[in-house]
Amino acid sequence: MSKRGVFISLEGIEGCGKSTQSKMLYEYLSQLGNCVILTREPGGTSIAEKIRDLLLDPKNDSMTDTAELFLYLASRAQHVEQVIVPALNEGKIVICERFNDATYAYQGFARGLDLNLLVDLTKIATSGLEPDFTLLLDLDVEEGLLRAEKLKNHRDRLESESIDFHSKVRNGYLTIARNNPQRVKVIDANGTIDEVHLRIRNCVDEMFSA
């Protein structure tokens, strides 16, 4: 790797374990002596966290697809400039729950917005920044939603979408992975937390040694 840091994103449907596995990966890489930061989208800054609240509040069920898109992009623009790019410039490893692929999967494949337009808009929001590696935690949609509901005892605005919507998200992610095999690695998210972590750890070890 160059002096620039390494940018790793974790992606997947609702309830696939991104938050848990991101924290475990953060701890693993930190224990190896790396300087690592852990962040998330939408969120990661005070402004972006406020946008997150708007996006996920189930009361905002009248939000249009276009408004949703631009809120996500506004959050990402702030996040990239304030947190991610400075950390990468300092040579740190950045682990981020969700990034551009989430926009393509949710707003593109599931909402039906034009994918080419989404690519252009995300380039503006991120100044062209892409993850070096993306770990896609793949899980059955119904299992993921069941896990998410057990953790929080309620569903946020996106979790409340139909099974068909979430199936489109999953299929979108898998399509993205097939089209970007060098960057996106599909991780089986079935099994225990430790089993999934071991799969991630082995994959990351392989990516860093390449």
Residues 6+ apart with CB under 8 A from 204: 8, 25, 28, 29, 133, 135
pLDDT of residue 45: 97
Tokens representing residue 92 in the block:
């740190």
User: What is the domain partition of the chain in residue ranges?
Assistant: 6-209
Identity at 178, one-letter amino acid code: R
pLDDT of residue 149: 79
pLDDT of residue 153: 65
Instruction: Quote the CATH superfamily of domain 6-209.
Output: P-loop containing nucleotide triphosphate hydrolases (3.40.50.300)
* DSSP 3-state of 22: helix
In whole angstroms, what is the distance from residue 10 CA to residue 93 CA?
Answer: 13
pLDDT of residue 171: 98
**To which residue do tokens 């946020």 refer?**
156
pLDDT string in tens for the chain (210-residue length) = 447 999 999 999 999 999 999 999 999 999 999 999 999 999 999 999 999 999 999 999 999 999 999 999 999 999 999 999 999 999 999 999 999 999 999 999 999 999 999 999 999 999 999 999 999 999 999 999 888 877 776 778 888 899 999 999 999 999 999 999 999 999 999 999 999 999 999 999 999 987
From 106, 179, 112, 167, select the one nearest 141 (Cα to Cα).
167
What pTM value is reported for the model? 0.94
